[in-house]
Structure 1
Amino acid sequence: MPDRDFDPKHFDTLDRDLGRITTLEQAAGFVGRPVVGKGIAFLFVVAVALFAVLAFGDQNNTLLIVLAAAFGAYMALNIGANDVANNMGPAVGANALTMGGAIAIAAVCETAGALLAGGDVVSTIAKGIIDPNSLGSARVFIWAMMAALLSSALWVNLATWVGAPVSTTHSVVGGVMGAGIAAAGFASVDWAQMGLIAASWVISPLLGGVIAALFLWFIKDRIIFQDDKIAAARRWVPVLVGIMAGAFAAYLAMKGLKNVLKISTAATLGLGLAVGMACWLIMIPVIRRQSQGLENRNKSLKTLFAIPLIVSAAMLSFAHGANDVANAVGPLAAIVDASRSGQFVDSFNIPVWVMMIGAFGISIGLFLFGPRLIRVVGNQITKLNPMRAYCVALSAAVTVIFASWLGLPVSSTHIAVGGIFGVGFFREWYTERRMKALKQAVPETGHLAREERRRRKLVRRSHFMTIVAAWIITVPAAALLSALIFGAIAVLTA
């Protein structure tokens, strides 16, 4: 016998209420996600500050060391959120790695690079930007380093929020320069060194872009547009992998492992050549076996480039951790050393605990805030596939080696993003060239309207202009922030 109290409409009302609750939970989760990330980052900074209190609570200038440790942790978080995207963005954009896989590989390799091969000796004045003797006293030096550390962290944070990958090295340089000018005037700055750094704004992206475009041209000419793509890939992919392996071996020996393995430039190039030849020979049967049964089309070629691209991204992350962790902890180590000794010197050893702050801070910042910049670098500048992304990664290693050989100060950020721009602009030029050739061969194909040609641009001009503008103003913006912070500190401590 049916229940007279039963009414199907009651279930409709219940469904609507449950739907509202689900929507509310989803909205709360969406809103809370960034809050949770910021909360975890804040807890990391607090934990580092508490560690500094426990480790140095019985020494003079404890408050200075605690503040410097907190600022160093904040800077490390921002490096992880911004700079690491340049290494993993191309692999993610090419769908060779998932976002989770990229973050996991980058976190492990960045930490390993920082702890195993990180710089144990670093210049306290950011590669000779200012004369330490012009600062007069250890107290002024400490406040200058504090202002430089905080200003560079704030600038990188702002750039990440805007969605622009910037050079953290240039941010630190700008911070040191601004604090030095505020403390001792314009005469304290080594303007010749600053001129070289300014030149690198142009040299780094141009070198990266041209080399990436040349590799892409080679792949298109020798593999993609061949009648038998698979046979061409069997011949040339091992060669390209050998070039990559040799370049990274030299790159790591020259940059990432320079504090562990001391070898000359000639020995570095010899090591790179030997590793490249060995990998070329090893990859010949590997590529032959991997290419069996593949169809003669471009999609099959992506499979052959996927694993080399992942390995190159991991190597770039290792080298980045070995080199750029000093951007986060160099000023912190300088402050700690000057606070404990009452003196300041041009170079000194970085304590292990300071390196760990940089290493773990970069990994946490990457995990919490890195995906946004990874998407910008990987997807929103130009469309990447494994071949194009491979050209970007290979360009980064080759360009750093070439620039180091010429003695040019370059930015890994500018090189990687410049490589992406180079690949995108080369594709635009190549497509336009093919369209003109087709029109000459078949005149009835017609002419595209200007609006349609603009719509078919392969590089997003809005991202291009935003990133270039951020590059140009990084040093002056960080310098201005640092000068203002140093001025505020001087007033408060007067």
Structure 2
Amino acid sequence: MELGLIFTLFVIFLAFIFEFTNGFHDAANSIATIVATKVLSPLQAVIWAAFFNCAAFFFFKLSVATTIGTGLVNPEIVSPYLIFASLISAISWNLLTWYYGLPSSSSHALIGGIIGASIYKGGIYSLQFSGLTKIMAGILLSPLLGILIGLCLATLITKIFSNPNDKWFKILQLVSSAMLSLSHGGNDAQKTMGIISLLLISSFYQGQEFHIPSWVVLSCYAVMGFGTLAGGWRIVHTMGQKITPLTPILGSAAETGATIVIFAATSLGAPVSTTHTVTGAIAGVGLSRGLTGTSWSIMYKIFLTWLITIPATGLIAAAIMLLINLSLI
């Protein structure tokens, strides 16, 4: 087996590792509220979320994968080494933020890695600014929309149902959690699909016209589902308990608000952060209790993590590209 093929297969394996860490790192997005409100046990919650992560295969077009594969960087500068550096950077960041229980974005870790490696190799003009604009708009708008819609839904629900029956809201939360897991799978799994397809093109194992093979689609959904089954419990604890105390009513509002934003973004092909969106929605439902309903000290730490994710992963990926170049001299 030729060396180039071996390395390409190894990078595909790394992409699956990233997808797995994406699943367990971002499992908190789907299960934090439903575990915090005790509607499902932790084991039941991860099985529930993993099932709907995979079921996204039947509901979404591959527009987000296309944005990642064609709208982020100039395809001419992409190489297996560049994808390798981007993935190592994103995996490292996922593991670091998981260890500290910080709900950072796996998507932005991957995007930051690609940007950093691409700038190192081809300069700033190797980036596709139209695609980057869409991504940056998602970075800014998704948490803000999550806060706004979460706040509005929580306020509306608590006013309409002055004495809500928790039983009905527990059922509603099962539905909203399923929809959130579905949207999470539909947006996040596609990012790795785009990366693998870009890798196959740059390795000349696929034609130069961008498309996503069926085996890539199915495997990415499956690997993400397995990652979700592993559950990122440190982050679940942060999102489910530290931002604001949650009830089934508020949990349903947070999940529904985040789902609306992610569904809309996926339909537009915008690779938004499910982590940012869900965290914003949880903060929003906390605001329905007043300014003190949300722990702003925790939100400050989370916001700082969001702020440095893309620059940090970009620098890591660029450093890896430098080391690769030095080793090849």
Q: TM-score, normalising length from structure 2?
A: 0.89
Q: Does 1:348 align with 2:211?
A: yes
Q: C-alpha separation between the residues in 2 aligned to 1:359 and 1:214? A: 32
**Amino acid of the structure 2 residue aligned with 1:387:** I
Instruction: Give secondary structure in 2 for the equivalent of 1:348.
Output: coil
- Partner residue, 1:422: 284
Rg (Cα) greater in structure: 1
- Partner residue, 2:294: 459
**Amino acid of the structure 1 residue aligned with 2:314:** A
2:233 counterpart (344, 363, 371): 371
Q: C-alpha separation between the residues in 1 aligned to 2:149 and 2:83? A: 37
Change (3 A) 1:400 1:109: closer
1:67 counterpart (3, 6, 10): 10
Change (3 A) 1:418 1:158: same
1:327 counterpart (160, 170, 191): 191
Structure 1 residue 75 displacement after superposition: 0.2
Instruction: Give secondary structure in 2 for the equivalent of 1:165.
Output: coil
User: Identity of paired residues, percent?
Assistant: 27
- Partner residue, 1:167: 105
- Partner residue, 1:473: 308
Q: Does 1:95 align with 2:34?
A: no
Q: Does 1:204 align with 2:142?
A: yes
Q: Any conservation in 1 of the 2:183–2:262 contact (CA below 8 Å)?
A: no
Q: TM-score, normalising length from structure 1?
A: 0.61
Q: Any conservation in 1 of the 2:71–2:130 contact (CA below 8 Å)?
A: no
Change (3 A) 1:413 1:386: same
Structure 1 unmatched ranges of 5 or more: 1-57, 230-297, 430-456
Q: Any conservation in 1 of the 2:176–2:255 contact (CA below 8 Å)?
A: yes
- Partner residue, 1:411: 273
Structure 1 residue 360 displacement after superposition: 3.4
Aligned length: 329
Change (3 A) 1:341 1:202: closer
Structure 1 residue 107 displacement after superposition: 1.7
1:488 counterpart (315, 319, 323): 323
**Amino acid of the structure 2 residue aligned with 1:65:** T
Aligned 1:5-404 pairs, distance under 5 A = 58=1, 61-114=4-57, 117=60, 119=62, 122-123=65-66, 126-133=69-76, 135=77, 141-191=79-129, 193-224=131-162, 229=163, 298=164, 301-341=165-205, 344-345=208-209, 347-352=210-215, 354-400=216-262
Q: Any conservation in 1 of the 2:89–2:317 contact (CA below 8 Å)?
A: yes
Q: Which has the higher contact order (CA 8 A, sep 6+)?
A: 2
Q: C-alpha separation between the residues in 2 aligned to 1:343 and 1:493? A: 27
Q: Any conservation in 2 of the 1:204–1:411 contact (CA below 8 Å)?
A: yes
RMSD of Structure 2 on Structure 1 (CA): 2.7
Structure 1 residue 380 displacement after superposition: 1.9
CA deviation map 1:138-180 (0-9, x unaligned): xx52211221122122212212112111222222221111111
Change (3 A) 1:150 1:350: farther
CA deviation map 1:48-86 (0-9, x unaligned): xxxxxxxxxx46622212321221122012111212211
CA deviation map 1:379-428 (0-9, x unaligned): 22111001101111111232345667899764322111100011112212
Change (3 A) 1:159 1:361: same
Moved more, 408-417 or 372-381: 408-417
Q: Any conservation in 1 of the 2:67–2:271 contact (CA below 8 Å)?
A: no
**Amino acid of the structure 1 residue aligned with 2:280:** G
Change (3 A) 1:344 1:170: farther
Structure 1 residue 328 displacement after superposition: 2.8
